[in-house]
């Protein structure tokens, strides 16, 4: 159980799995839920979600008390009443209180998560793209992700996923930044985990060929022009030579 500096305690309810554990056969639907409280900030948080082979189907928004489908089309073919998930979260809160009392807020081992940043599509200057910041092997599922561009915080065009459960009982989270690549830009994804004193960060900059200088461009144009002139001259000589050979052949034929 977590405690001390950040979260007072965190309870991960058992995952309901359909499929095989040792050897995967077919597909797997995972129900993941947790309830947690940060006593230092007097904040509470919870999550209830379903995923299919690692892709989110839906989650229940505790504040809005409604089901949020990952794709709007899913809600046209299926339904899920948020009230059931809210009841589970309430039970999780009760279990949390019992666990805090029984364990005397003992502290669990916390390891820094893994952070990586990469673009969604091949990078082309001035072409809109999406940067992904993936925070993996996260425990407990509580953190803050911020984006910076050239040293300035960016908030526009930023979206964040829910916490995705992993088979090792840790979590994975995705943060997305819509951007337009420009030469010389430097992007930074900063991750602050309340149980880890050191902030984690990952830098990314567009990897594109350097722009050719005016001298290089002039030289390339000159070489292209020279090759074109040489081609014309050689072609003209070959045509004249062929005409002469054809004329001589015709002259011998008349004799």
pLDDT score of 249:
55
pLDDT tens series, the chain, 255 aa: 333 333 333 333 333 333 333 345 578 888 888 887 766 656 677 888 898 888 898 999 888 888 989 888 888 888 898 888 888 888 888 887 777 776 665 555 677 899 999 999 999 999 999 999 999 998 888 889 999 999 999 999 999 999 998 888 889 999 999 999 999 999 999 999 877 788 899 999 988 666 555 566 677 677 777 676 766 766 677 677 766 666 655 555 544
Query: Is the distance from CB of 47 to CB of 34 less than 8 angstroms?
Result: yes
Query: Is the distance from CB of 197 to CB of 94 less than 8 angstroms?
Result: no
116: left (phi over 0), alpha (psi -120 to 50) or beta: beta
19: left (phi over 0), alpha (psi -120 to 50) or beta: left
Right CATH number for 114-204 from 3.40.50.1980, 2.60.120.620, 2.60.40.10, 3.40.190.10?
2.60.40.10
Backbone angles phi, psi at 193, to 5 degrees: -100, 130
Is-same-fold flag (7-103; 114-204)? no
pLDDT score of 153:
95
7-103 is a CATH 3.10.320.10 domain: yes
pLDDT score of 214:
57
pLDDT score of 28:
85
Is the model's pTM score more than 0.85?
Answer: no
Dihedral sign for Cα 222, 227, 230, 232, please. negative
What distance in Å separates the CA atoms of residue 218 and residue 112, rounded to the nearest whole number? Answer: 52
Q: Where are the domains of the chain?
A: 7-103, 114-204, 216-240
pLDDT score of 181:
93
pLDDT score of 161:
93
Nearest to 195 by CA among 14, 41, 12: 41
């Amino acid at each position: 159980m977590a405690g001390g500096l950040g979260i007072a305690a965190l309870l991960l309810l058992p995952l309901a799995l359909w499929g095989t554990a040792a050897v995967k056969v077919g597909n797997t639907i995972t129900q993941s839920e947790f309830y947690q409280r940060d006593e230092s900030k007097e904040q509470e948080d919870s999550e209830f979600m379903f995923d299919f082979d690692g892709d989110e189907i839906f989650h229940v928004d505790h504040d809005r008390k409604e089901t949020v489908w990952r794709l709007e089309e899913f809600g046209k073919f299926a339904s899920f009443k948020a009230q059931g998930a809210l009841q589970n979260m309430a039970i999780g809160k009760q279990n949390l209180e019992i666990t805090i009392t029984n364990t005397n807020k003992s502290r669990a081992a916390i390891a820094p998560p893994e952070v990586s940043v990469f673009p969604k599509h091949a990078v082309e200057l001035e072409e809109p793209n999406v940067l992904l910041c993936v925070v993996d092997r996260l425990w407990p599922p509580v953190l803050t992700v911020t984006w910076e561009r050239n040293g300035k915080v960016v908030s526009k065009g930023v979206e964040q996923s829910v916490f995705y459960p992993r088979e090792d009982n840790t979590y994975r989270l995705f943060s997305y930044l819509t951007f337009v690549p420009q030469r010389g830009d430097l992007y930074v994804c900063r991750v602050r985990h309340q149980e880890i004193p050191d902030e984690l960060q990952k830098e990314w900059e567009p990897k594109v060929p350097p722009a050719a200088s005016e001298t290089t461009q002039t030289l390339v144009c000159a070489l292209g022009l020279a090759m074109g002139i040489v081609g014309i001259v050689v072609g003209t000589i070959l045509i004249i030579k062929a005409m002469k050979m054809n004329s001589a052949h015709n002259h011998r034929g008349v004799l």
